[in-house]
């Protein structure tokens, strides 16, 4: 992914990317996106774009493994995040879902992960410290809560599931206040053109609808042109 495409993807929302993937594929039916309502710590920030660095955590119950094992895995987790390709996104599944209680994402971890150069976090788990989280590091999470519980890392680099969306380590992610999508590798080089085509197609309706004197006849004509052009 080149710098121009990265800049473009950060400037558009996730629904735009979702639609553009279908334009690039030339068909409907793309389904690698999250289901349900997610929460964004910084809804006005640019979209989170980057390659997934995956992990699994839990917090509801104390870990059953030896403390040294837990600590070693925790350090391996932070090393994986620190050495991730840029742009990177922390994609962390809380295996307690839907009963997550451990707010892994707050002031401390957002500051650490931004310091590592990551673009943001996507998780089905919990965030906290609203108002004190690191600026410029959005978290798209499943819920908000006050406690970290018994939070501990279970796995690193394995496939994870976030709100019905499977993510593999290294997948290209686009996420914002709407949720997230996994961008298929075969469409990456076609995305810029697909986004422009989609926006031009939508303008066939949006342009007339925003003009004075818009009525049903003008809508019908615009919609006919729109249907002929869209995927």
Q: Is 216 exposed, middle or buried (0-12, 13-18, 19+ CB in 10 A)?
A: exposed
Q: To 10 degrees, what angle do helices 216-229 and 191-209 make?
A: 170
CATH for 31-183 (3.90.1150.10, 3.40.640.10, 3.50.30.40, 3.30.460.80) = 3.50.30.40
Domain ranges of the chain: 31-183, 191-229
Give the pLDDT of residue 231: 58
Query: What pTM was computed for the model?
Result: 0.94
| 141-199 residue pLDDT tens | 999 999 999 999 999 999 999 999 999 999 999 999 999 999 999 999 999 999 999 99
Alpha-carbon span 84 to 118, nearest angstrom: 8
* pLDDT over 80 (residue 230): no
| 25-78 residue pLDDT tens | 998 899 999 999 999 999 999 999 999 999 999 999 999 999 999 999 999 999
């Amino acid at each position: 992914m080149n710098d121009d495409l990265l800049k473009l993807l950060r400037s558009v929302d996730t629904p735009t990317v979702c639609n553009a993937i279908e334009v690039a594929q030339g068909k409907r039916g793309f389904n690698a996106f999250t289901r349900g309502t997610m929460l964004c710590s910084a809804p006005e920030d640019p979209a989170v774009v980057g390659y997934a660095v995956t992990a699994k955590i839990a917090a509801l119950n104390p870990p059953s493994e030896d403390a040294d094992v837990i600590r070693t895995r925790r350090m391996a987790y932070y090393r994986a995040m620190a050495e991730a390709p840029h742009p990177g996104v922390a994609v962390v599944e809380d295996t307690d879902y839907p009963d997550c209680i451990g707010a892994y994402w707050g002031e401390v971890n957002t500051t650490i992960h931004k310091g590592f150069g990551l673009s943001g976090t996507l998780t089905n788990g919990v965030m906290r410290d609203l108002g004190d989280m690191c600026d410029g590091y959005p978290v798209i999470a499943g819920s908000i809560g006050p406690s970290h519980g018994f939070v501990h890392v279970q796995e690193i680099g394995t496939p994870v599931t976030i709100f019905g969306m499977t993510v593999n380590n290294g997948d290209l992610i686009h996420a914002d206040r709407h949720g997230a999508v996994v961008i298929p590798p075969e469409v990456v080089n076609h995305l810029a053109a697909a986004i422009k085509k989609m926006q031009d197609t939508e303008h066939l309706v949006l342009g007339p609808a925003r003009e004075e004197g818009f009525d049903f006849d003008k809508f019908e004509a615009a919609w006919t042109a729109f249907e002929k052009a869209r995927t």
